[in-house]
């Protein structure tokens, strides 16, 4: 839910849609052979990421307000009505579909009431050796579907634990580039299967006190894994007011296809479609 928008649609969406559709086609052809085509040549090795995706459903189960021990950024989160059960239901459905093609998942919140900070979430994603992290949210407004990638120089700024003004800036050009690539692939598939453009764009946290101002979700800012933050915009509800069953199905279809295409184009998942 929740975050107001900046403009700026990605020109990469159209080409990414072609990649995504190609990826989906490959996977639909090979899904019957899923048991014999398990991907992830690097699975189980410590050499690199495994073919596992961290799925991060919705908001925290309790109000939480802590400073990240690593970066110092303020980590505020809160339950958000129907969004949290919706996001968990969508996450479980996506998890099942990814399992059909041999893509592993690490779900970062196992029940609606789970109390887990952003730092704990990104640490779980790292410990599981995931090659990408995916936050799954919903929001009011049919035009508000979007994916927010990590950006070099993206930031959050505000008053830190010591009372000083602090800016925490994203500084990993390679991870940012990979997040933007993955965002384009997933946005393409989501656009096709959800029936409306899902732009890749930046967020804005201006004027949202007590949240620190800036342009990256906190979880994306502190993640040590390429991260994409998804919103599904609802025509009738969204966020705390929930999605319809039909909207959930569209989001499940779009995300599942997008993540399969993302995996199929990622070195951690070299076996997919082979």
Q: How far apart are CA 137 and CA 56, in angstroms?
A: 9
Q: How far apart are CA 17 and CA 9, in angstroms?
A: 14
Per the CB < 8 A criterion, the answer to whether 98 and 105 are in contact is yes
* SS3 category, 229: strand
Q: Where are the alpha helices (DSSP H) in the chain?
A: 12-30, 82-100, 118-127, 173-194, 218-222, 245-264
For residue 12, the minimal CB distance to Zn ion (Å) is 24
For residue 2, the minimal CB distance to Zn ion (Å) is 5
Task: Give whichever of 200 and 261 is closer to Zn ion, judged by the CB atom.
Answer: 200
Backbone phi, psi, residue 55, to 5°: -110, 125
Interacting stretch for Zn ion, rule CB under 5 A, among 89-97, 107-115, 133-141, 217-225? 133-141
Task: Give whichever of 164 and 209 is closer to Zn ion, judged by the CB atom.
Answer: 209
Q: How far apart are CA 19 and CA 23, in angstroms?
A: 6
x/- binding map, residues 134-173, to Zn ion, per CB under 5 A?
Answer: ---x------------------------------------
Using the rule CB under 5 A, is 1 a contact of Zn ion? yes
Task: Give whichever of 23 and 217 is closer to Zn ion, judged by the CB atom.
Answer: 217
Task: Give whichever of 12 and 137 is closer to Zn ion, judged by the CB atom.
Answer: 137
* Nearest residue to Zn ion on Cβ basis: 137
Interacting stretch for Zn ion, rule CB under 5 A, among 21-29, 129-137, 154-162, 248-256? 129-137
Per the CB < 8 A criterion, the answer to whether 65 and 76 are in contact is yes
Task: Give whichever of 1 and 122 is closer to Zn ion, judged by the CB atom.
Answer: 1
What is the chain's length?
Answer: 274
Q: Which residues here bind Zn ion, judged by CB under 5 A?
A: 1, 137
């Amino acid at each position: 839910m929740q975050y107001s928008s900046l403009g700026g649609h990605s020109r990469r969406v159209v080409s990414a849609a072609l990649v995504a559709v190609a990826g989906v086609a490959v996977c639909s052809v090979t899904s019957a052979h899923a048991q014999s085509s398990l991907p992830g040549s690097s699975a189980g090795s410590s050499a690199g990421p495994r073919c596992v995706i961290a799925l991060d459903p919705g908001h925290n189960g309790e109000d939480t307000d802590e400073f990240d021990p690593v970066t110092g950024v303020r980590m505020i989160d809160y339950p958000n009505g129907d969004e949290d059960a919706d996001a968990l239901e969508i996450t479980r459905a996506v998890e099942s579909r990814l399992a059909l093609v041999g893509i592993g998942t690490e779900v970062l919140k196992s029940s609606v009431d789970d109390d887990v900070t952003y730092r704990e979430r990104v640490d779980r994603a790292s410990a599981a050796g995931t090659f990408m992290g995916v936050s799954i949210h919903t929001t009011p407004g049919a035009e508000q579907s979007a994916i927010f990638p990590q950006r070099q120089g993206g930031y959050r700024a505000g008053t830190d634990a010591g009372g000083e003004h602090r800016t925490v800036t994203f500084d990993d050009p390679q991870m940012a580039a990979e997040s933007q690539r993955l965002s384009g692939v997933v946005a393409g598939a989501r656009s096709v299967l959800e029936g409306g453009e899902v732009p890749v764009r930046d967020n804005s946290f201006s004027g949202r006190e007590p949240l620190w101002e800036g342009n990256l979700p906190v979880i994306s800012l502190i993640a040590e894994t390429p991260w994409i933050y998804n919103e599904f915009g609802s025509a009738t509800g969204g966020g705390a007011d929930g999605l319809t069953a039909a909207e959930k199905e569209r989001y499940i279809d779009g995300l599942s296809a997008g993540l399969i295409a993302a995996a199929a184009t990622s070195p951690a998942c070299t076996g997919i479609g082979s």
